[in-house]
Amino acid sequence: MQETQTRHGSHYQLQRNGDAFQLQHMPRQLPDLAADQVLIQVGAVSLNYRDLLILRNAAQDTVDGQIPLSDAAGTVIAVGSRVSRWQVGDRVAPNFFAHWHSGKYQAKHYVQGALGGSQTPGVLAEHIVASEDAIVAIPAHLSLQEAATLPCAAVTAWHALFERGQLQAGETVLIQGTGGVALFALQLAVAQGAKVIITSSSDEKLARAKALGAWHTINYHHQANWDEIALTLTDGVGVDHILELGGPDTYARSINALASGGQIHQIGVLTGFGPTPNLWPLQAKNAQINGILVGSVAHFTALNAFLSQHQIIPVIDRQFAYAEAGAAFDYLASAQHFGKVVINVHP
């Protein structure tokens, strides 16, 4: 077994504070590696909307003492005795699901292996341990900070548009908002030659989305009938793909804007949880809804090949120091960001 002299570090854990939780910085002694595990020195981590929900205990299942966050990138500094795929110095990122390597998704993948969830420790730490088959090599053209943005948001966008959606050049894609998944979907779709419509309540963010290659933008505060505008833009045909990030408040408009045979990729619930919309128009269009929950190691690997082929650079809005982890959560909660919020652990 190759080893490093580093045996101590630190992590952040969730500490109960009333009905919610707060971050607590704690020293940590690193565990011994199993034969099939690697030790990774974390370079950077990034935040997702899910991390805010966990911190706030929105689902009432946040665990006291759990290490939060799912997205990280770093460098291998030790490997177990049977590890053959990785060596010290490799730059890697853990998959969101520790046990979904390929094939069909199973419920146990989330319950037993979603990083930073109720049962599996997350990555807001100086070092993490991972099984050798639960990590991927990061693209050579990306920094550790850029690669740390990929495991949740980018894989989700890839899974939706390319694995399930089989996106083709010339097809139309409507994306709701300018969050992490939305911007990755925009960059990936543009690289594939698709025509992308972006909705947002911020003209400034829409202008930046336009600069990233959006075909048309719609400010839904000024033009609440964005579904009708999308139909007009497509000569009444409708859009081929919709990334549904809103939830109950946007679903009816998404169905209306969808082309016959089109696909709604269900990803987010930003407007909360509510009653199911009338799905008859979806049936009448021979259209479908794809439930998307991040992706597998195989999906992540395919995404990285595409990023490398097209030299795509993730959009990072702001970076925080490791000691400023709490401020990073606060900034994400403010919804001011355009792109990903990153915490530098070992910059």
CA gap 43, 240 in Å, rounded: 38
Q: Delimit the domains of the chain by residue range.
A: 8-149+314-344, 155-291
- The CATH code of the domain at 155-291 is 3.40.50.720
Check if 8-149+314-344 and 155-291 are the same fold: no
- pLDDT tens series, the chain, 347 aa: 444 455 789 999 999 988 889 999 999 998 889 999 999 999 999 999 999 999 998 888 899 999 999 999 999 999 999 999 999 999 999 999 999 999 999 988 887 889 999 889 999 999 999 999 999 999 999 999 999 999 999 999 999 999 999 999 999 999 999 999 999 999 999 999 999 999 999 999 999 999 999 999 999 999 999 999 999 999 999 999 999 986 667 888 999 999 999 999 999 654 444 556 777 788 899 999 999 999 999 999 999 999 999 999 999 999 999 999 999 999 999 999 999 999 999 97
CA gap 149, 234 in Å, rounded: 32
Q: Report the CATH superfamily, name and number, of domain 8-149+314-344.
A: Medium-chain alcohol dehydrogenases, catalytic domain (3.90.180.10)
The pair of structure tokens assigned to 111 is 């319950």
The pair of structure tokens assigned to 325 is 């982890």
Q: How far apart are the first and last CA of the chain?
A: 27
What phi, psi does 16 have (nearest 5°)? -60, 135
Beta-ladder partners of 289: 264
Residue 229 CB neighbour total at 10 angstroms: 18
User: How would you classify the pairing of strands 239-244 and 258-266?
Assistant: parallel
Supply the DSSP string of 231-273, one letter for each residue.
Answer: HHHTTTS-EEEEEE-S-HHHHHHHHHHEEEEEEEEE---TT--
Long-range contacts of 165-170 (CB under 8 A, 24+ apart): 165/241, 165/263, 165/265, 165/290, 167/192, 167/194, 167/241, 168/192, 168/194, 169/193, 169/194, 170/194, 170/195
